[in-house]
Structure 1
């Protein structure tokens, strides 16, 4: 369904029997002390709470980029080789480790990373490895962080 989302803010809830409600929770969690019964039998005034913002799941591209950057943070970043003998990886090596396979998320994450590298460092870069090998760790990290933010904002 395209267009606007219709969200109801009014409810047609039946008033809750407070004692029954408390008993149900006590049965679910017997370590909880039973609450004292309410002094009056009058129903409590309804509480209007703002609806919580829905939690958006992380998209596969954002997850791949985030996991790859975490990999670089854990094992180290390197130039001129996919995997350094000590475990550090270049940007492509980290993407491969995070994605687990050359799947769609891997390809899209690599394309987004290269696009961000071109935004920050010029359009002459033809590949992630050539860009990775020509920059400092701080410059590479800046591109990774910006690519993650873009993936997040694009919801991919």
Structure 2
């Protein structure tokens, strides 16, 4: 399975940004170096730091399972291919190690996203997995991960 690496970013001239910020904040720069400021207490630095995202169990399970597919490969029509590739259910099982709540909830979200993208006729993840191409399956995985992230689950 391949991952798209092309970006859609447009190169921006750093000098243009510098000029724009200068126009927005026209305060002159000091001629001589300023005296070093007093050290900032660590508590102020920590208080100003943005919160770190901690993925919920569903997002983590889906992310780990997709990483497993990226590493070992994706398969159709079998849980585990002799060379190590797995189908979507096999990847979920590998990511959780057991059929626990995270496994169940991640599977439900993945199937819901598959139905959202490919129609409500899919009764199970294996049926959907076996009827689609690798890029289609990957697109559903990525959308399910984004959804889990957005829902903070």
TM-score (norm 1): 0.69
- Does 1:129 find its partner at 2:126? yes
Aligned pairs for 1:1-156 (under 5 A) are 44=38, 51-156=48-153
Greater relative CO (CA pairs within 8 A, separation 6+): 2
Unmatched 5+ stretches in structure 1: 1-38
Q: Secondary structure at the match of 2:48?
A: coil
What is the CA-CA distance between 1:120 and the residue it aligns to?
0.4
TM-score (norm 2): 0.70
Q: Partners of 2:39 and 2:145 in 1: how far apart?
A: 45
What is the CA-CA distance between 1:95 and the residue it aligns to?
0.1
Moved over 6 A (4+): 45-50
Q: Give the structure with the larger helix fraction.
A: 2
**Alignment RMSD (CA, Å):** 2.4
What is the CA-CA distance between 1:53 and the residue it aligns to?
1.8
